[in-house]
Structure 1
Amino acid sequence: MILDLFGMLRDVLPIILVILFFQYAVIRRPLASPVKVGVGFALVIIGLYAFVVGLKLGLFPIGQRMAEQLIGFDTWLWVYLFAFAIGFATTMAEPALIAVGQQAEEAAAGKINGNVIRILVAVGVAIGITIGVHRIISGDSIHYYIIGGYLLVIALTALAPRYIVALAFDLGGVTTSEVTVPLVTALGIGLAGQIEGRNVLIDGFGLIAFASIFPIVTVMSYAILMERVAHWRERQS
């Protein structure tokens, strides 16, 4: 336990050193509240340590165990439903997504609703993980799915309103964060490890890529649809 805590300190230390270097060597000003900053860094280290321990004890095992148990049913339907539901639920709980949604709502001056963005991204992740699970079950090559997904993204980028494009790509990244990654990765490994003929290293990974692509698709598709509806209403009035 103590060794793991020191290991986390070692991992965070470069961040602390960079901040202190720029504060004292470049900006050449002392920290405004050294005690508060020190306590804050200590809490960050303890929090990260607790998070990593939680992954090992809880999220990783439960993800693999759920995959193993769901495969025991006579139908793949429950596996697909679990993939969709866990993708939606974990994404809605992502702190990074909540933060980006709030910032986008403040910056967009009424064009974007943060809660709608969260739901759209969560639906996109759910769809992506479900498609990724289907790839593992079917044994298909990941290349065709990823190429097809990005071709769709490119097409939507050309059609979507300019204000949503950059945000959509950012939202594709924030979905793969603290809550989603452990469970989704464990789900993929658990499935690949239990299905005959699948290789854990080749087939077990890749779900995160699907979770990054399809939120871009859902967000831009929604923006395109809303723009079309707005133009239609203008013509009707």
Structure 2
Amino acid sequence: MNLKLKEKIRESLSAVLPITGIVLMISIFLIPMELGTIVMFLTGAIMLIVGMGFFQLGAEMSMTPIGEGVGVQISKLKKLITVLLTGLIMGIIITISEPDLQILANQVPSVPNMVLIITVALGVGLFLALALVRIRYKISLSVLLIICYAALILTSFFVPKEFLAVAFDSGGVTTGPMTVPFIMAVGVGLASVRSDKNSADDSFGLVALSSIGPILAVLILGCFYKPTQAAYVLEDVETVVTTQDVARIFARGLPLYAREVLIALLPIIVVFFIFQMLTGRYHKWQIRRIMIGFIYTYIGLVLFLCGANVGFAPVGAYLGKQLAELSFNWILLPLGALIGYYIVKAEPAIQVLNHQVETVTNGAISVKMMDHCMSIGVAASVALAMLRVLTGVSIHWFVIPGYFIALVLSRFVPDIFIGIAFDSGGVASGPMTSTFLLPLSIGVCEALGGNLMTDAFGVVALVALTPLIAIQLMGLVYKLKTGKGTPTERAVIADDCDMIVDLEEDE
């Protein structure tokens, strides 16, 4: 086996093993599960591990060099209109290629699937074009984010409350495993041709702006459509008796995801060949390497999505229902935090982001630091999501203060941390969130007899929110420890960040 592939699979094993262990411990001590269900779950976990390993290597070999090449070529374009059109077209193509978008289209009620897909793709395309213009003209990311999120929050007040949570969720799931590696690489390519001191800072932020587009697009749709009930239907855990039953169920799912991922990858492959014909950028050996990378990406995504949807999602819904029916269902808060802490490590695009951050910053921000901050942020978000389901508190009470804190922090942290933090929000809310945490939340809501639209949905939105705060706090710690900033700033930072400093020193 390829040594690099072995290394990626080992990384995947360390990422997926903890969440697998947590579910097994819950099944032993709290919620007994049939052996057939456990076998289904473990089979899904194995597929996740192998799939994530293939995907990471494939993205590194194909999506990253293509994205960087496109970014370099965009930086050479002279006319603004050409840059805008390029960003718009690339954003639309890459978003339509996102497997999670098809899932999203079935989740949002009362909106025709094709209308939603086109609207979301336009949202990503327009905001990717805006992100390219920002880098070209060196516009402050913090200022642009404040303006965009102010517009987003304002729009949210005109949307029916039944549509609000699912609209915020939609922004997270559309920046998934296909979109993120490509868009991040475009940023690196754009920044690589600049030699000024801010070039590394500007290599991040494209995902941040691109993930605002679909949220705003779906919120605007919500002003015209009146949802009455959720279209999201949870699948029950299938009854299995023998190992042949397990094999049959996964064999039935594999062709569906094989077709879905193939449809997703084809537009990107076509764009690659058109790009190569127009620019002649890559040598024959590079083209061969990229095509092998596409094969790895394809195999990885098929295995990952099948394992997550067939093995993980039904177990998430089952655990949610059973835990909610316990007399001490408040235990969902610490359990949610524990699950959130480890499940983010199993997001395929998270590993891509973390390694890219370490590379661009020359190790100043390590993979370990990113993992730690992302896990703390997502742990907090899942605990808050469980609190919302148990209490029925409106998502407005979480997203408005949360984004306010994140945007205020953006005025004080080093610029590179702003881009990384807001990128991480879109990356954290990937397929593991939509296939395990969302069913978990819906299972809890159904057991409690709550409103599915207002209470259960919103977990993806919170997962996309809290890393923004956690990583910017890490930026403040970095600023404090390196002595950058005024004495007053350092004093305020010290008060806010003592806990994180202690955690880092313990490491």
TM bin, normalised by shorter chain, reads 0.7 to 0.9
Does the 8 Å CA contact 1:23/1:31 hold for their aligned counterparts? Answer: no
Query: TM-score w.r.t. structure 1 length?
Result: 0.85
Of 383, 395, 418, the match for 1:130: 383
Q: 1:66 corresponds to which residue?
A: 319
Does the 8 Å CA contact 1:92/1:119 hold for their aligned counterparts? Answer: no
Task: Report how far residue 231 of structure 1 moved.
Answer: 4.1
Partner deviation per Cα, 1:181-211 (whole Å, 9 max, x = no partner): 3211111211222112x22233221111111
Amino acid at match of 2:444: L
Does the 8 Å CA contact 1:128/1:214 hold for their aligned counterparts? Answer: yes
Looking at structure 2, the residues matched to 70 and 214 of structure 1 have their Cα atoms a distance apart, in angstroms, of 24
Does 2:338 align with 1:85? yes
Task: Report how far residue 212 of structure 1 moved.
Answer: 1.2
Any idea what SS the aligned residue of 1:56 has? Answer: helix
Q: 2:259 corresponds to which residue?
A: 6
Task: Report how far residue 114 of structure 1 moved.
Answer: 2.5
Q: 2:191 corresponds to which residue?
A: none
Contiguous gaps of at least 5 residues in structure 1: none
More moved, 79-88 vs 160-169: 160-169
Does 2:435 align with 1:179? no
Any idea what SS the aligned residue of 1:223 has? Answer: helix
Does 2:453 align with 1:201? yes
Task: Report how far residue 138 of structure 1 moved.
Answer: 0.5
Q: 2:7 corresponds to which residue?
A: none
Partner deviation per Cα, 1:106-130 (whole Å, 9 max, x = no partner): 3334542331221011100110111
Does the 8 Å CA contact 1:189/1:205 hold for their aligned counterparts? Answer: yes
Task: Report how far residue 102 of structure 1 moved.
Answer: 2.7
Name the CA shift for 1:43/1:168 in 2 (closer, same or farther; >3 Å): closer
Looking at structure 2, the residues matched to 189 and 145 of structure 1 have their Cα atoms a distance apart, in angstroms, of 18
Amino acid at match of 2:351: I
Looking at structure 1, the residues matched to 301 and 443 of structure 2 have their Cα atoms a distance apart, in angstroms, of 25
Any idea what SS the aligned residue of 2:467 has? Answer: helix
Amino acid at match of 1:228: L
Amino acid at match of 2:334: L
Any idea what SS the aligned residue of 1:179 has? Answer: helix
Q: 1:213 corresponds to which residue?
A: 465
Partner deviation per Cα, 1:203-237 (whole Å, 9 max, x = no partner): 221111111111111111232244335549xx9xx
Does the 8 Å CA contact 1:83/1:130 hold for their aligned counterparts? Answer: yes
Q: Percent identity?
A: 26
Task: Report how far residue 44 of structure 1 moved.
Answer: 3.2
Partner deviation per Cα, 1:13-64 (whole Å, 9 max, x = no partner): 222222122223x125787156665554344333322223222321111111
**How many residues are matched?**
232
Amino acid at match of 1:157: S
